Amino acid sequence: MIADCCGWSELAGETRKFPELRQRQTADLAIVGAGFTGLAAARRYGELKPEARILLIDAKRIGQGASARNSGFAVANESPGHSRLHTIEGLASYQTMNRLDHAGVEELRRLIALHNIQCQWEDTGSIHAAHDPRNFDKLRHHVAAFKKLGVDAQLLEADVLQGRLGTSFYKLGVESRGGALVQPAMLVKGLLESLPPNVECYENTPVQSIEHAGKGWALSLPNGLVQATQVIVSVNAVFPRLGFKSMRVFPLALTASLTRPLTEQEEAEINQPPSWGILSPRSLGATMRLTKDRRILIRNTGEYRPSGISLKMLAERRKLHADGLTKRFSFLNDSAIDYTWSGTIGISRNSKPVFEEAAPGLFLCGCYNASGVSRGTIMGRLISDLTLGASSSLLDDVLTLKKPNLIPPRPLFDPVAKVKLHLERSAALTER
Ligand SMILES: Cc1cc2nc3c(=O)[nH]c(=O)nc-3n(C[C@H](O)[C@H](O)[C@H](O)COP(=O)(O)OP(=O)(O)OC[C@H]3O[C@@H](n4cnc5c(N)ncnc54)[C@H](O)[C@@H]3O)c2cc1C
């Protein structure tokens, strides 16, 4: 039977172990969820208030959630495909998100240099590329929109793509600069190991409820209780499980596979191109990477499964990954896959993040669709600024963003989501 095994985490090696949080504890700040958002929030708060007691609590091992399980694109220029750039409000909103994403990439660059984090960071940017001529108009729209927005982007024709990628699968692409590619589990590990000393980390400690108590908040744990003056909740897809945003945020389960390193002969066949990252103009088309350590990553599924992906389903998704690999590189098939895993992201209907003080002293931050590497890093930092009353133009920017749109309550929502995703999957079939 296949195991759900994140290749990035396996290859990143041992991560430091932290205890479970037990008994009664008091803190200035408790952060629930230690992905990119929680890590960034903890760092910022710790830097601004070095005397504060900060508890960073995760339900699982820290660094094993979506933040380690993603495709490793530190996105600077989100696809303009779904933005309503023809309205003044849509354009302003895209530009705000773009400023945030660039700031997130910059912040990661700064931290990686400052703490010498080894995470295979490469300033490679990304290419939105299509195989199917029916998606070419989307790409032409992308490049026109990028140029209008002042993003450094260019159209790439089939022969150029073949030279750059080593496959003739893609027929048209749009390259945009500013973002980077990274080994996400190594990045999370480095961020975790460089937190300020007043951040205490706890893992395997699922927070069960958060309730107003006295002058702050009480967090109940399986074997303890935390009384904190302020709380930041950064649990991404599972906000609803803690009683937040159940009519604004829903989970999307993604699966990915990573191959073994390419052989010398395979490298010769594709002319040893430098690392690359491909995104699809269709939201459920394949994300592909040639990594710094010369493996190929593929992520070509996305589905609404609130109860997660079983191992049987994961084995079926792996077949889809193998098909996607073979279509692009005839020498790769199922036997070339070393690791296959699933992960869950938080989605909102209008792609807007959650960022707010939900009640005095209780802050929520997360839900970035599939752009949480850079966005989680910057928004986590900004949510701590908000808790401490710090001001900045970026914080003002975030506060102007629209909130996530309402979705129907469950179970009404389930068939709607399934049908919508089924239609998008069908439209993306030729790009998987
Ligand atoms: C396969 C895949 C590919 C992706 N590709 C990309 C990509 O290339 N680029 C990109 O930018 N983004 C990508 N994403 C999305 C990205 O990973 C997320 O946006 C990002 O991880 C969000 O960070 P976060 O800290 O907000 O949430 P998460 O990383 O989800 O962290 C939330 C944490 O909260 C913890 N938690 C949950 N409930 C509780 C509780 N009750 N108590 C305590 N802790 C709790 C979880 O264990 C988890 O560690 C991808 C995601 C997946 C799954």
Q: What's the pLDDT tens digit per position in 221-249?
A: 999 999 999 999 999 999 999 999 999 99
Q: Whose CA is nearest to atom 10 of ligand 1?
A: 371
CA of 80 to the centre of ligand 1 (A): 22
Q: CB of 63 closer than 6 A to ligand 1?
A: no
CA of 374 to the centre of ligand 1 (A): 12
Task: Specify the ligand 1 atom closest to the Cα of 253.
Answer: 53
pLDDT computed for residue 85 by the predictor: 75
> Could you give the 3-state DSSP secondary structure of residue 397?
helix
146 has pLDDT over 80:
yes
CA of 370 to the centre of ligand 1 (A): 9
Task: Specify the ligand 1 atom closest to the Cα of 256.
Answer: 1
Task: Give the model's confidence band at 88: pLDDT under 50 very low, under 70 low, under 90 confident, else very high.
Answer: confident
Sign of the dihedral defined by the CA atoms of residues 257, 263, 268, 272, in that order:
positive
User: Who's near 199: CB < 8 A, 6+ residues apart?
Assistant: 42, 43, 45, 46, 54, 56
pLDDT computed for residue 300 by the predictor: 97
Task: Give the model's confidence band at 95: pLDDT under 50 very low, under 70 low, under 90 confident, else very high.
Answer: very high
Q: What's the pLDDT tens digit per position in 385-427?
A: 999 999 999 999 999 999 999 999 989 999 999 999 999 999 9
Q: CB of 373 closer than 6 A to ligand 1?
A: yes
Q: CB of 33 closer than 6 A to ligand 1?
A: yes
Q: CB of 67 closer than 6 A to ligand 1?
A: yes
Q: What's the pLDDT tens digit per position in 353-368?
A: 999 999 999 999 999 9
Task: Specify the ligand 1 atom closest to the Cα of 72.
Answer: 8
User: Who's near 421: CB < 8 A, 6+ residues apart?
Assistant: 252, 284, 302, 303, 304
Task: Specify the ligand 1 atom closest to the Cα of 234.
Answer: 26
138 has pLDDT over 90:
yes
CA separation, residue 374 to residues 23, 67, 214 (Å): 35, 11, 36
Sign of the dihedral defined by the CA atoms of residues 341, 346, 350, 352, in that order:
negative
Q: CB of 277 closer than 6 A to ligand 1?
A: no
Task: Give the model's confidence band at 91: pLDDT under 50 very low, under 70 low, under 90 confident, else very high.
Answer: confident
CA of 66 to the centre of ligand 1 (A): 3
Q: CB of 59 closer than 6 A to ligand 1?
A: yes
pLDDT computed for residue 82 by the predictor: 61
Q: What is the pTM of this model?
A: 0.97
Strands 126-130 and 216-221: unpaired
Task: Specify the ligand 1 atom closest to the Cα of 254.
Answer: 1
| H/E run at residue 340 | strand 337-348
Mutate to test the pocket of ligand 1, among 9, 79, 342, 373 (most ligand atoms within 8 A of CB): 373
Whole-angstrom Cα distance, residue 72 to residue 178?
14
Mutate to test the pocket of ligand 1, among 235, 318, 382 (most ligand atoms within 8 A of CB): 235
Q: Please give the average per-residue pLDDT across 319-332, as a whole number.
A: 98
Q: Whose CA is nearest to atom 52 of ligand 1?
A: 70
Domains of the chain are 7-431 (3.50.50.60)
Query: Which backbone phi and psi does 323 adopt, to 5 degrees?
Result: -60, -45
Q: What's the pLDDT tens digit per position in 197-215?
A: 999 999 999 999 999 999 9
Task: Specify the ligand 1 atom closest to the Cα of 37.
Answer: 25
Q: CB of 232 closer than 6 A to ligand 1?
A: no
Assigned token pair, 393:
């133009």
Whole-angstrom Cα distance, residue 214 to residue 173?
57
Whole-angstrom Cα distance, residue 128 to residue 152?
13
